[in-house]
Structure 1
């Protein structure tokens, strides 16, 4: 049996700060703040990116080759989906209505087809806000997380044999590619 993985408790504390920054980012809508404070809080959405990176790091840190892919998938599903389903069921009566929607309301028309995308956690594959933020509006991040979970065992099979140096070179290459893509997207006229 493999030795247990060393806990990374310091990273748990960083998760709290990232969540707090996301909270402050959303609170700017309700309580605008003056000057530099707003500039700092306006970048709070980076907390979501931090969570994605941290999740990938922790999953890679704790991965064991002896754990079958099906067990990995089941553990990820069991950890995330039950709470997602409860939050989704609680969100439906808050954000949806069968009645006519008054102008300026945050309510959405009840649409079982769109909500079904949230039930199967694929709403993040659409950019249309009515779909992307369907069900529990914050759950679009779970679409990304589930996709990362889907890829993780397969990417690990490629990177683990490369050892640290090879995996690091590939990681640096991916980061550079992301920056090049972002630079090209920003430089594109009319976008």
Structure 2
């Protein structure tokens, strides 16, 4: 007979406690604003001077940096190497990014060809492998999908992320906090 006075943990209770750690809604909301400022920056650069908007979005490039730092923090906050092996982590990142990269790269190549610009096979392959930003060759970097440079950078960070999380200092919340404080002070300095 089961003692009803002792509450047994349920799968629902376990999921809800994990959801609090896995989701950071206030930080996720900041990602929207960072992405918006980058889009507006590019819009103002393509369209030309837009009174009020161009000045406000001049620092849109900083939105990319902010987005990367914020995403790294969220990944470190939610990552648990014991619960999610590196192989699974890397596969999830790849599966989330690569299909859309293929679609946007195909569209980009179609546009380049339509306007008469030659696109090399090695540029397309480097883009699809997400390594095109790793090479100091303009033909590779800008050949297939120049806007995907950030995905190439992300691929590098994703590859080294599980290794970084093995460092003892980064295994605890307190350790990550002091690394963040130290890096912030170093950047300001």
Please indicate the TM-score interval, normalised by the length of the shorter structure.
0.7 to 0.9
**Partners in 2 of 1:127 and 1:175 — Cα distance?**
29
CA distance in 1, matches of 2:117, 2:175: 48
1:144 aligns with 2:153: yes
Per the alignment, residue 106 of structure 2 pairs with: 89
Equivalent residue for 1:79?
96
Q: Does 1:25 align with 2:41?
A: yes
> Any residues of structure 2 matched to 1:104-115 within 5 Å, and which?
108-115=117-124
Give 1:37 shift.
4.4
Give 5+ residue unaligned stretches, structure 1.
Answer: 98-104, 181-191
Distance 1:10 1:175 in 2: 20
**Alignment size in residue pairs:** 170
TM-score by length of 1: 0.76
What are the superposed Cα offsets for residues 20-75 of structure 1, whole Å, 9 maximum, x if unpaired? 111111122213134x6433211111111122112111211221222111111111
Determine the structure 1 residue equivalent to 2:24. 8
TM-score (norm 2): 0.77
Matches within 5 A, 1:23-172: 23-29=39-45, 30-34=47-51, 37-64=53-80, 65-96=82-113, 108-158=117-167, 159-161=169-171, 163-172=172-181
Whether contact under 8 Å (1:126, 1:132) holds in the other structure is yes
Show CA shifts across 1:99-134 (max 9, x none): xxxxxx7x5312112221111110111344432233
Distance 1:75 1:61 in 2: 17
| CA root-mean-square deviation | 2.4
Contact 1:19-1:47 within 8 A present in 2 as well = yes
Q: Which runs of 4+ in 1 moved over 6 A?
A: none
Q: Distance in 2 between matches of 1:14 and 1:170?
A: 21
**Shift of residue 153, structure 1, vs aligned partner:** 1.0
